[in-house]
Structure 1
Amino acid sequence: MMVRTFAMTALAFVVAGSAARAADPRYPNWPCAQAKVPDISLAAVWAGPPLDDAENKWKDDSKVSALVSKLAARKTPLDEAEKSVKEFLAASADKTTNAKLLFAGLFDTLNAQRAQVMSGLERVSRKQRDAADRIREETIELQALQDATPRDDAKVDTMSNQLIWDTRIFEDRRKVVRFVCEVPTTIDQRLFALGRVIQQEME
């Protein structure tokens, strides 16, 4: 009786967990409650002068590219990143050029990070869909084994353990996805904050 109850609970859980997916039909594999915005718009985060060729040249400046790597890393606290921006631009002979190079590098790098995270989320979402289908099939198979006459208790135990394991993996992934769904927004906020500091330092 307890195994049957677990099977029904597992099935209900998976169905409930799958129902919230794909709120936007344009992105059927997008698993987050947050709307999917594929790219950060430059106009949304930069009100400074046109970046011109800075978008292609920032990688050629070793100091700029090294600083971009540090600023883009989420392990670097935002206040520390903002301080580094101010110190770098204060010491620049051509503040405007270096400011544009720095922002162009951040825009490129953080957009790439964001795209990578979003691609990973959709990949996990596809795995979750497959896992949900598998759990449904295992639940039906387990119920059939429980109702069989004569009943094979060894097979019931094996299938029950498999169902418990697959449901646990499904739930663990669901928790990870919920956490990672916050990352694109965090990247957006970081780019906006650093872009604002760069623009302020140019004035």
Structure 2
Amino acid sequence: MTVRIVAIAVVALAVASPAARAADPRYPNWPCAQAKVPEISLAAVWAGPELGDAETKWRDDAKVTALVSKLSARKTPMDEAEKSVKEFLAGSASDKTANAKLLFAGLFDTLNAQRSQVMNGLERVSRKQREAADKIREETIALQALQGAASRDDTKVEALSNELIWKTRIFEDRNKVVRFVCEVPTAIDQRLFALGRMIQQELE
């Protein structure tokens, strides 16, 4: 495949990307096929008792903050998470309810923050990809001019060709990473919903 074909393919890919299409004008830099939902709705993941002041007080409890950190980490298996939830909520009914609210409040805050961080990162990469596509387009035009010049400089042609090949590979690699990372916000949604169900089941 020639550099010209590679460059044209990359630009076409950039134009066809979700970010370039900007299906939702509110989020012009959102690069994922999945619709952007800026924050998880509490009602969508929690049907337990009202959290009340637990929304702010969970940070004051060292045991809760440590458990929130463990459960919110995607590397923690869900069966291990369930065991930890059961152990933490073992106790009297009143203690169980209070602890359940603190725990879920912490998970809701923490996972929402993780999700926002991932989404902001995706939009930053999307902007950089758009800039990279523009640069590749400009350099493709410059290369074509060099190739068609009456006094062609083969050294310059080769140098720019190699640079375009390298930039094309970087662009394509980043697109692959973006497609993978686009799944992360949904995975966080699902994890928070599952953890919420675990906690609520212990209250039933």
TM-score range, shorter chain: over 0.9
Gaps of 5+ in 2: none
Gaps of 5+ in 1: none
Measure the CA separation in 2 of the matches of 1:23 and 1:32. Answer: 11
Residue 77 of structure 1 deviates from its aligned partner by 1.2
Residue 91 of structure 1 deviates from its aligned partner by 4.5
| TM-score, normalised with respect to structure 2 | 0.94
Residue 29 of structure 1 deviates from its aligned partner by 0.3
- Aligned position for 1:105: 106
Query: Deviating runs (4+, > 3 A) in structure 1?
Result: none
Map 1:62-73 to 2 at 5 A: 62-73=62-73
Seq. identity, %: 79
- Aligned position for 1:94: 95
CA spacing shift, 1:111–1:13, aligned 2, 3 Å: same
Map 1:17-28 to 2 at 5 A: 17-21=14-18, 22-28=22-28
Measure the CA separation in 2 of the matches of 1:172 and 1:8. Answer: 17
Contact 1:8-1:139 at 8 Å conserved across structures = no
Is residue 169 from structure 1 mapped to residue 170 from structure 2 by the alignment? yes
- Aligned position for 1:55: 55
CA RMSD of aligned residues (A): 1.3
Measure the CA separation in 2 of the matches of 1:76 and 1:14. Answer: 40
- Aligned position for 2:5: 8
Measure the CA separation in 1 of the matches of 2:33 and 2:99. Answer: 38
Map 1:173-192 to 2 at 5 A: 173-192=174-193
The alignment of Structure 1 onto Structure 2 pairs a total of residues equal to 200
| TM-score, normalised with respect to structure 1 | 0.95
Q: What does the per-residue CA deviation read over 1:75-123, in whole Å, with 9 as the maximum and x for residues that have no partner?
A: 1112211221111112467000000000000000000000000000000
